[in-house]
Structure 1
Amino acid sequence: MKLVDEVVLKNATETAWSVYRAHHPEVDPWDSRRCPLERHLQRRGEERESDTEELAGFGIAYLQRFFRDEC
């Protein structure tokens, strides 16, 4: 198992979270969904070689599913 580059993980998380919140302005910046997002991206990055943009895309898709499943 490889470790995800911390900078790539941080940038991907910030990008995915920013895009998600732009579409859902009612979501607080420190909403509890952020922690599962970080864990999800960490796992995805460990499964395969990913760059910031690819991980951010995985993060956006994850958040869209997470939000839809919560309703």
Structure 2
Amino acid sequence: MVDEAVLRNAAETAWTVYRARHPDVGAHDSLRCLLERHLHRRREERESDTEELASFGIAYLDGLPRDEC
């Protein structure tokens, strides 16, 4: 299981990259909560490092339909 620091770092990295690609998304957008929940579930499924979790997070956010968030 991944520790909390790795999870926080992965979420922050994924969120920073996503916002850089989507400047219209605010810092406190509800997508961040979805991202954190997604990464938390991934963490429970298998052990991952920060970079791998961040990659999963970015892919997850990119796959979400923008009109439903």
In the TM superposition, what whole-angstrom CA distance separates every residue of 1:34-67 from its partner, at most 9, and x where no partner exists?
A: 001000000001101100000000000000011x
Q: Which runs of 5+ in 2 are unaligned?
A: none
Cα RMSD after superposing both structures: 1.0
Find the counterpart in structure 2 of residue 50 from structure 1: 48
| d(CA) in 2 for partners of 1:41, 1:19 | 15
- From 6, 17, 34, the equivalent of 1:36 is 34
1:64 is paired with a residue of what secondary structure?
A: helix
TM-score (normalised: structure 2) = 0.91
Partner letter of residue 59 of structure 1? Answer: G
| d(CA) in 1 for partners of 2:14, 2:66 | 18
| d(CA) in 2 for partners of 1:61, 1:8 | 18
Q: Post-superposition shift, 1:70? A: 2.8
Q: Which runs of 5+ in 1 are unaligned?
A: none
1:33 is paired with a residue of what secondary structure?
A: helix
Find the counterpart in structure 2 of residue 6 from structure 1: 4
Aligned length: 67
Identity rate, percent: 69
1:70 aligns with 2:66: yes
TM-score (normalised: structure 1) = 0.89
